[in-house]
């Protein structure tokens, strides 16, 4: 459905020197430098797939999305969506896609929400009967009824986001691009939006590309993940691959009746000769959590050592969660590891 | 064609609703502009009072008054926010939201603004024209309204608006390179007001300058329709100038298309 071949995007950026003198200098003699926002990124997406597209801030996620939606033209490389090149014949191409940029809105700010939908109906040439059916469906999934007659500027962020997603789906697109659709939303709204996306993907086999910083989005929605960092593709695979590739971090949780013993007797770092990144100890009252790198420290060893040193009332070992993996990856900068 | 209208008329409807939403703004602006008109009226009255002859450069005080108010009317009808709208969307990156829709970029702006123009026409055109004609009647004692010149005036004003729109869109595209247009826009408005004869009638300028400015696109924006309204031109000359207007409309339309095509390739959406 979507093929992305070695796309690269470079921007020219005017470099401003600091201070007032610098500002005056750059007014008369502007210096610019080339910034490579996206560097040879390739991946492809099957029809009906939900792809999680992740990476730290400034990694180039949005730039890729903008190229895929035809807003930006790649400096080099090619992307094809449903057999079409976005930059060629833009008007025809965008009929088949829906786009939501979480930080912008496609709704008419000063008009009642329902007016936006009737404008979109004409733009996409949706027949009356189908429009009605579609609105009923979107209403049911995204629960728009309560605010559909209110001017968009009076909507809360959660309402606006639901309305925006509905707007992007009105014409039943084949591909849906969601750029941070859950940004700034509370847990309940996030959950509703995830359910809606899952439902639409399920019922209509809509291909979805989703960028997010919220890893629960990824865990609940995406079977596959593409991760980029500093404009480069660093990981492409499913969630369990991500976990096995980067997920050496596991967590040992236990409860003790003698917290003083834990602090004085347990010296993981020196016992296993590990760095402070490989073993992290936290405690909340009697509950102790030890995050450790299972590549460097065997589970049996750390378990044996802990049981031997302190008296424990309850114990378990948890798998790494995605959040932790990503946190480590972002922190270390994945590109160096590759 | 009907498909085309069906696709873009919702923008006009939205434009009407939006100008209704900001009607206080609209009336304040209107009031301010009318004040400006009256200030100019008193300035010219002083000029005529201090002059020995009844006419000044071929304009009587009545002509001057009609000129002031019809220039105001034409300015209001042909005013386009294209520069601001296009520039602002480029500056804050929301132009991206137009590009993900299967519509022509310029048409969405045009039809949206037409909604506002319909409102302006209803509120401003009839009162000003009636006012001006009544004034002429009371001062000169004769009724001189001519349906043919009025029709030509309307036609000329519509073309003038479209020229103004595309001129402003072209100018707004400069935001692709400048990123912020506020200063450039003010400069443009002052220069255009002068060159289009909206500040001082082109008839008051030296012959050579007048000839150059008559051919340049700016006189098509305001001076041509105003002179047609005032009956200063013969029918042949009016039609000739309307043809010139059409030429400039085509020129700016093509220019805007060319800039758009070139600019999209190097578009850098700012923010987010």
- How high is the pLDDT of residue A223? 86
Closest A-chain CA to B102? A91
Average pLDDT on B206-213 reads: 90
Taking chain A (338 residues) in runs of 10, the rounded mean pLDDT of each run is: 89 75 74 85 92 85 90 89 88 92 87 90 92 92 91 92 93 92 87 90 92 83 88 84 73 82 78 79 82 81 85 80 69 52
Higher pLDDT, B80 or A328: B80
Residues of A whose CB is below 8 A from B272: 62, 101, 103-104, 179
- How high is the pLDDT of residue A99? 94
- How high is the pLDDT of residue B164? 94
Average pLDDT on B159-185 reads: 85
- How high is the pLDDT of residue A337? 42
The answer as to whether B36 is a domain residue is: yes
Question: Considering only CA atoms, which of A126, A42, A39, A135 is closest in space to residue A80?
Answer: A42
Mean pLDDT of chain B: 87
Q: Which fold has domain A249-319?
A: Alpha-Beta Plaits (3.30.70)
- How high is the pLDDT of residue A175? 94
Are the beta carbons of A124 and B102 separated by less than 8 Å?
yes
Q: Which of B101, B104, B271 is closest, CB to CB, to A94?
A: B101
Are the beta carbons of B96 and A66 separated by less than 8 Å?
yes
Those residues whose C-beta lies under 8 Å from the C-beta of residue B36, and which sit 6 or more positions away, are B72
pLDDT, tens digit, 9 for 90 and up, residues B54-68: 888 788 888 899 999
Residues of B whose CB is below 8 A from A110: 17-18, 21-22
Q: Which of A95, A103, A110 is closest, CB to CB, to B102?
A: A95
Name the token pair of A133. 């059916």
Closest A-chain CA to B271? A103
Confidence of residue B267 (pLDDT cuts 50, 70, 90): low
Those residues whose C-beta lies under 8 Å from the C-beta of residue A8, and which sit 6 or more positions away, are A36, A38, A39, A40, A41, A74, A75, A76, A77
- Helix and strand numbers (H, E) in chain A are 13, 13
What's the half-sphere exposure (Cβ side, CA atoms, 13 Å) at B122?
9
How far, in Å, CA of A280 to CA of A289, rounded? 8
The answer as to whether B270 is a domain residue is: no
Sheet with A224-229, strands from edge to edge, namely A97-101, A175-179, A207-211, A50-54, A224-229, A232-238
Q: Does B93 touch chain A (CB under 8 A)?
A: yes
Find out whether A234 and A228 touch, Cβ atoms under 8 Å.
yes
How far, in Å, CA of B204 to CA of B226, rounded? 15
Residues of B whose CB is below 8 A from A9: none
Are the beta carbons of A111 and B17 separated by less than 8 Å?
yes
The answer as to whether B198 is a domain residue is: yes
The answer as to whether B271 is a domain residue is: no
Residue B247: domain span: 2-265
Name the token pair of A287. 């509950």
How far, in Å, CA of A73 to CA of A297, rounded? 48
Tell me the nearest-neighbour CA distance from B143 into chain A, angstroms. 45
Instruction: Kindly list the domain boundaries of chain A, sorted by start residue.
Output: 2-7+40-244, 249-319
What whole-number percentage of chain B has pLDDT above 90?
Answer: 29
The answer as to whether B236 is a domain residue is: yes
Q: Does B104 touch chain A (CB under 8 A)?
A: yes
Higher pLDDT, B88 or A328: B88
Query: Structurally, how many domains does chain B consist of?
Result: 1
Find out whether A26 and A102 touch, Cβ atoms under 8 Å.
no
ipTM field? 0.75
The answer as to whether B205 is a domain residue is: yes
Find out whether A136 and A166 touch, Cβ atoms under 8 Å.
no
Closest B-chain CA to A153? B21
Closest B-chain CA to A87? B265
Q: Which of B96, B102, B264 is closest, CB to CB, to A123?
A: B102
Name the token pair of A119. 């404008």
Residues of A whose CB is below 8 A from B18: 108, 110-111
CATH superfamily of A2-7+40-244: P-loop containing nucleotide triphosphate hydrolases (3.40.50.300)
Find out whether B257 and B170 touch, Cβ atoms under 8 Å.
no
Handedness of CA A231, A233, A237, A241 (dihedral sign): negative
Q: What is the 3-state secondary structure (H, E, C) of B105-145?
A: HHHHHHHHHHHHHHHHHHHHHHHHHHHHHHHHHHHHCCCCC
Strand partners, A238: A224
- How high is the pLDDT of residue A321? 64
* pTM of the predicted model as reported, rounded to 2 decimal places: 0.79
How far, in Å, CA of B39 to CA of B33, rounded? 10
Which residue of B8, B20, B99, B177 is the best one to mutate when testing the A interface, meaning the one whose CB has the most A CBs within 10 A? B99
pLDDT, tens digit, 9 for 90 and up, residues B248-259: 999 999 999 998
Find out whether A63 and A37 touch, Cβ atoms under 8 Å.
yes
- How high is the pLDDT of residue B142? 80
Confidence of residue B111 (pLDDT cuts 50, 70, 90): very high
Find out whether A68 and A177 touch, Cβ atoms under 8 Å.
yes
Find out whether A98 and A169 touch, Cβ atoms under 8 Å.
yes
Find out whether B155 and B229 touch, Cβ atoms under 8 Å.
no
Handedness of CA B1, B3, B7, B12 (dihedral sign): positive
Closest A-chain CA to B262? A73
The answer as to whether B123 is a domain residue is: yes
Residues of B whose CB is below 8 A from A99: 100
Tell me the nearest-neighbour CA distance from B155 into chain A, angstroms. 29
Q: Which of A11, A66, A122 is closest, CB to CB, to B6?
A: A122
Tokens 């405690």, located at residue: A283
Distance of CA B170 to the CA centre of its chain: 15
């Amino acid at each position: 459905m979507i093929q992305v071949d070695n796309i690269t995007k470079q921007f020219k950026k005017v470099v401003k020197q600091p201070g007032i003198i610098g500002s005056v200098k750059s007014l008369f003699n502007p210096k610019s430098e080339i910034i490579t926002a996206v560097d040879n990124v390739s991946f492809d997406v099957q029809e009906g797939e939900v792809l999680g597209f992740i990476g730290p801030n400034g990694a180039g996620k949005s730039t890729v999305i903008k190229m895929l939606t035809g807003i930006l033209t790649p400096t080099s490389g090619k992307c094809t969506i449903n057999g079409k090149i976005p930059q060629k014949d833009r008007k025809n191409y965008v009929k088949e896609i829906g786009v939501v940029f979480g930080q912008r809105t496609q709704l008419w700010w000063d008009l009642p929400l329902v007016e936006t939908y009737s404008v979109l109906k004409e733009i996409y040439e949706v027949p009356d009967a189908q429009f009605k059916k579609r609105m009923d469906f979107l209403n049911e999934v995204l629960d728009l009824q309560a605010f559909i007659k209110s001017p968009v500027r009076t909507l809360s962020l959660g309402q606006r986001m639901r309305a925006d997603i509905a707007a992007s789906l009105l014409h039943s697109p084949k591909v849906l691009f969601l750029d941070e659709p859950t940004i700034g939303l509370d847990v309940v709204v996030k959950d509703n939006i995830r359910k809606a996306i899952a439902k639409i993907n399920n019922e209509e086999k809509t291909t979805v590309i989703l960028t997010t910083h919220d890893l629960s989005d990824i865990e609940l929605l995406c079977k596959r993940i593409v991760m980029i960092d500093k404009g480069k593709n660093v990981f492409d695979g499913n969630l369990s691959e991500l976990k096995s590739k980067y997920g050496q971090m596991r967590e040992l949780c236990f409860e003790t009746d003698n917290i003083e013993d834990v602090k004085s007797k347990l010296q993981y770092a020196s016992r296993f000769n590990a760095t402070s990144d490989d073993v992290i100890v936290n405690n909340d009252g009697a509950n102790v959590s030890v995050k450790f790198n299972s590549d460097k420290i065997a589970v049996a060893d750390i378990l044996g050592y802990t049981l031997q040193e302190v008296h424990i009332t309850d114990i378990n070992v948890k798998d790494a969660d995605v959040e932790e993996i990503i946190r480590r990856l972002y922190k270390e900068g994945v590109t160096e590891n590759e | 064609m009907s498909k085309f209208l069906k696709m873009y008329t919702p923008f006009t409807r939205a434009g009407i609703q939006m100008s209704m939403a900001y009607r206080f703004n609209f009336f304040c602006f209107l009031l301010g502009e009318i004040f400006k008109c009256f200030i100019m009226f008193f300035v010219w009255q002083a000029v005529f009072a201090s002059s020995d002859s009844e006419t000044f450069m071929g304009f009587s005080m009545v002509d001057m008054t009609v000129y002031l108010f019809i220039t105001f009317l034409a300015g209001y009808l042909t005013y386009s926010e294209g520069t601001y709208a296009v520039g602002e969307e480029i500056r804050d990156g929301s132009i991206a939201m137009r590009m993900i829709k299967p519509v022509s970029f310029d048409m969405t702006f045009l039809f949206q603004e037409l909604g506002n123009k319909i409102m302006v026409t209803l509120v401003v055109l009839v009162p000003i024209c009636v006012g001006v004609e009544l004034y002429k009647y009371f001062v000169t004692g004769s009724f001189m309204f001519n349906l043919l010149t009025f029709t030509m005036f309307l036609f000329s004003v519509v073309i003038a608006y479209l020229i103004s729109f595309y001129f402003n869109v072209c100018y707004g595209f400069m935001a692709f390179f400048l990123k912020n247009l506020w200063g450039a826009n003010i400069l443009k408005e002052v220069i255009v007001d002068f060159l289009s004869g909206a500040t001082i009638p082109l008839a008051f300028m030296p012959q050579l300058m007048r000839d150059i400015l008559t051919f340049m696109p700016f006189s098509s924006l305001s001076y041509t329709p105003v002179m047609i309204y005032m009956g200063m031109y013969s029918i042949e000359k009016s039609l000739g100038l309307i043809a010139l207007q059409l030429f400039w409309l085509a020129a700016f339309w093509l220019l805007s298309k060319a800039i758009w095509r070139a600019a999209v390739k190097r578009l850098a959406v700012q923010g987010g």
